[in-house]
């Protein structure tokens, strides 16, 4: 079973308001409310791929309860640590082809809640073959919190795919215990390294030569419609994907992580791992829902992905 961790989940609310009037009353007819958070997208896609997953992380209050209800409705097995403070709402206002977002930072965890979270994580690992950790850390936890999770998993020989950014990613990469895989996009790489990394194999290869990436088995640098550049041990691959009729690419990175996790648990060879990860990312981009794929299209798009080894 795959464990999908989300430390700062949300209820994602989208309001269709046209026209959107600033400093005035806006009445909303079309409202959608879904359980959000990158790890929950990962869990949703794993379920759609027919594999066992357990969603975990921290939740609080009535918003937390709503997230659990939504996960249950979608048959996503879950077990969250209940925290004292209320989980967050994230609001997207869709107006005139534009999107204005209002994102709550979310609840702050106490030190005890942080410790309880690590204890729960360690307990869960007894029935887990692989872990995905996605998204930002909630307030109150130290920036090296994911280092602890990686260390606990490595001690038990359980592989971790880490998809986070900024300081939380940097802290993990600077410590001794490395995750099995990471999936930054080029913007996240640039931000973390404090240098310009663009969608170009030379630029990415140059960036990945830095010492902090040593010891990570797989680094998938995703580039949206341009596919990905991947480092596996000492080998580099360019992955090219077909042009798609994109409906909503949000969450494609999470779908990529899900596909990669599923292929790893199936012991697929490198080329199949990479083609699966790209295909699930693409399938997500072709659906309106975030963290949603249509598996009936899988084989067709899988065959269109090209994996090429580069120097």
Interface contacts to ligand ATP, rule CB under 6 A: 185, 222-225, 227-228, 241, 244, 246, 249-254, 256, 278, 281-282, 285
Q: How far is the CB of 69 from ligand ATP (least distance, A)?
A: 24
Q: Report the helix count and the strand count for the chain, using DSSP H and E.
A: 10, 14
Q: What is the DSSP string of 4-15?
A: EEESS-EEEEEE
Quick one: 78 or 256, whose CB is closer to ligand ATP?
A: 256
Quick one: 114 or 281, whose CB is closer to ligand ATP?
A: 281
Quick one: 28 or 103, whose CB is closer to ligand ATP?
A: 103
Q: How far is the CB of 66 from ligand ATP (least distance, A)?
A: 22
Closest CA to 218 of 128, 228, 54: 228
Find how far residue 249's CA is from the centre of its chain: 13
Quick one: 254 or 287, whose CB is closer to ligand ATP?
A: 254
Q: How far is the CB of 26 from ligand ATP (least distance, A)?
A: 26
Quick one: 34 or 252, whose CB is closer to ligand ATP?
A: 252
Q: Is 38 helix (H, G, I), strand (E, B) or coil?
A: helix
Closest CA to 277 of 248, 250, 307, 235: 307
Distances (CA, A) of 29 to 14, 18, 43, 101: 11, 10, 30, 18
185: CB partners within 8 A, 6+ apart = 221, 222, 223, 224, 253
Q: How far is the CB of 283 from ligand ATP (least distance, A)?
A: 9
Quick one: 83 or 293, whose CB is closer to ligand ATP?
A: 293
- How far is the C-alpha of 287 from the C-alpha of 301, rounded, in Å? 14
Residue nearest to ligand ATP (CB): 253
Distances (CA, A) of 138 to 8, 206, 221, 239: 5, 32, 25, 33
Q: How far is the CB of 41 from ligand ATP (least distance, A)?
A: 7
Q: How far is the CB of 279 from ligand ATP (least distance, A)?
A: 7
């Amino acid at each position: 079973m795959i464990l999908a961790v989300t430390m700062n989940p949300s209820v994602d609310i989208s309001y269709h308001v046209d026209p959107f009037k600033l400093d005035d009353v806006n009445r909303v007819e079309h409202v959608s409310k879904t359980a959000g958070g990158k790890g929950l997208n990962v869990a949703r896609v794993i379920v759609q791929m027919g594999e066992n997953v357990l969603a975990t992380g921290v939740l609080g209050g009535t918003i937390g309860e709503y997230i659990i209800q939504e996960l249950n409705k979608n048959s996503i097995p879950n077990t969250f640590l209940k925290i004292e403070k209320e989980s967050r709402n994230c609001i997207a206002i869709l107006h005139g082809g534009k999107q204005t977002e209002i994102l709550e930072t979310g609840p702050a965890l106490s030190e005890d809640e942080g410790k309880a979270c690590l204890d729960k994580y360690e307990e869960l690992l007894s029935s887990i073959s692989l872990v995905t950790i996605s998204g930002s850390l909630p307030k109150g936890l130290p920036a090296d919190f994911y280092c602890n999770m990686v260390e606990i998993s490595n001690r038990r020989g359980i592989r971790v795919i880490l998809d986070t950014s900024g300081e939380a990613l940097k802290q993990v990469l600077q410590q001794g215990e490395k995750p099995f895989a990471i999936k930054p996009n080029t913007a996240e790489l640039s931000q973390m390294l404090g240098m310009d990394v663009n969608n170009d194999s030379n630029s990415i290869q140059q960036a990945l030569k830095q010492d902090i990436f040593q010891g990570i088995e797989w680094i998938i640098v995703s580039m949206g419609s341009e596919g990905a550049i991947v480092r596996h041990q000492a080998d580099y691959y360019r992955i090219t994907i077909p042009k798609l009729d994109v409906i909503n690419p949000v969450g494609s990175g999470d779908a990529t992580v899900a596909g990669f996790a599923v292929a790893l648990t199936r012991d697929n060879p490198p080329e199949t791992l990479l083609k699966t990860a790209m295909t699930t990312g693409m399938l997500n981009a072709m659906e309106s829902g975030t963290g949603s794929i249509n598996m009936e299209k899988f084989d067709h798009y899988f065959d269109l992905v090209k994996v090429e080894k580069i120097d």
